[in-house]
A and B are shown apart, each in its own frame.
Chain A
Amino acid sequence: MILLEKVHKRYGPRVVFDELNLTIGKGISIIRGPNGSGKSTLLRILAGIERPTRGRVKVLDRTPREARPLISYLGHRTGLYPHMSVKENLDFFSSIHGGDYMPMVEKFGLIEYMHYPLRKLSRGNLQKVGLVRTLMREVPLYLLDEPTTALDSRSRETFIEIISSMRDRIVLIATHEDLGLDSHAEINL
């Protein structure tokens, strides 16, 4: 369960959200809103990367920072090391996060890129590696910010197939796109 009570966030004079109250339970929830409405900021607060200016945030009955080991987060950036290869990155993150990356690497068609440094990959392939890192973990909470950005239609379908099998967890997706996921909650910022 995610709980936000009277959460206020501002960057200098700009108020991103004021008195935000939200309760999110198990299943897939989609966050929608125009550019700059605070979708990414909300996910970063839940991931413990940013702090709200004021208000109370509880993630899985803990503070976001305490809950970090139970969260898998994909932001606008991949959260990977651009100078290391795909394999080196996934080896490292599977060793500290747990999880087997090979089934997802095969599903996303990344086998041939395993020894490429990340900085030499296309935007779409980079996003796929970021998704593999995020989704290979077995955690109760997934926070995904624009996860289908730059993906081709096949990879998008693969992503939807994987996400659809995660309804027993909390999956929070910030997106502009219609992902065609059935039975999900919508949050409009």
Chain B
Amino acid sequence: MLRLIYKDLLLPLRSSSYLWAFVINNILLVFILSLAIPLEYIRDMATGMFWAVNFLNASGFTLKVVEDEFEDEAMYSVLMSPLSHGHIALSKILSTLLYLLVASLINLSAIVVLFRVQEPFPLSFWLFIPVGLAGISVIGLLISLITIKLTFRTLSFYILSLPLYVPFFIACVQGSTDFRVEWMMLALFLISAYMFILLTYMEREL
């Protein structure tokens, strides 16, 4: 399992062009938004912007992570090992989550500087970061796996992921700004449901 996580962490580093593109794109998006939105609104929108940028960019990152697995059919070599589908999925989710955490901290730093945020973020915001990023990771990996063999892979990925991302995005934004247990419950329920679908899909189709 540790070896699997190590490989999943190493893979984006070795094909580093898209890792850098992902980080730079995050910062550029925040920069453009900071220019486009008037200063009087900008601070109120910081939390929403943080999640919007994360959702927009991280989904593409998860697609690339899965594409790397199928580029030379390495995934089938992994599936021919005694490792369970659950271990393979969990390792992918954890490693993707780690990259998303690092990228979101860079993203957050850019927001604090460019949006001139002076007040500290509420506790609920920090609570939602790992939950939200875990959800993005699970949804992204699920839809990437479903669309990986399709001809219009990227297009299908964005179309199919939209209905899954929307309720999760709402839960993250609402829960981060005005914490209520229901938003956290909704987010955790969605993660569990998508995780179940991901494992079932892997077991049946891969």
Given contacts A71-B80, A92-B7, A133-B77, contact A117 B72 (CB under 8 A): no
Which residue among A71, A80, A81, A82 has the maximum number of chain B CB atoms within 10 Å of its CB? A81
A176 touches B (CB below 8 Å): no
Cβ-defined contact, B14 with A83, below 8 A: yes
Q: CB of A181 within 8 A of chain B?
A: no
CB contacts (< 8 Å) of B81 on chain A: these are 69, 96-97
Contacts of A118 in B (CB 8 A): 72
Which of B3, B71, B80 is packed against the most chain A CB atoms within 10 Å? B80
Q: Which of B20-75 contact A (CB under 8 A)?
A: 68, 71-74
Residues of chain B contacted by A78 (CB below 8 angstroms): 72-73
Bound Cα distance from A82 to B68, whole angstroms: 8
A96 to B72, CA, bound (A): 18
Query: When the two chains form their complex, are residues B3 and A81 in contact, meaning their CB atoms are under 8 A apart?
Result: no
Q: Can you list 17 A-B contacts (CB < 8 A)?
A: A47-B76, A47-B80, A72-B80, A73-B76, A73-B77, A73-B80, A78-B72, A81-B11, A81-B71, A83-B15, A84-B7, A84-B14, A92-B6, A92-B7, A95-B3, A97-B81, A117-B14
Partner-B contacts on A (CB < 8 A): 47-49, 68-69, 71-73, 75, 77-84, 88, 92-93, 95-97, 117-118, 133
- The interface residues of chain A lying within 8 Å CB-to-CB of B82 are 69, 96
Flag whether B79 is at the interface (Cβ < 8 A). Answer: yes
**Chain B contact residues: helix, strand, loop or mixed:** helix
The reply to whether the CB of B106 lies closer than 8 angstroms to some CB of chain A is no
**What 3 pairs between A and B have smallest CB-CB spacing?**
A79-B77, A83-B15, A83-B14
Most chain B CB neighbours (cut-off 10 Å) among A47, A82, A92, A96: A96
Contacts A96-B3, A97-B81 given; indicate if A88 touches B72 (C-beta within 8 A).
no
Q: Mark B77-89, 1 if CB is under 8 A from A, else 0.
A: 1111111000000
The answer to whether A84 and B11 touch across the interface, beta carbons within 8 angstroms, is yes
A96:B74 contact, CB within 8 angstroms: no
A182 to B39, CA, bound (A): 81
In the assembled complex, which residues on chain B have CB atoms less than 8 Å from the CB atom of A72?
Answer: 80
Chain B residues in 8 Å Cβ range of A84: 7, 10-11, 14
A79 touches B72 (CB 8 A): yes
Interface flag for B4 (CB, 8 Å): yes
Instruction: Report the nearest B residue to A70, measured CB to CB.
Output: B80
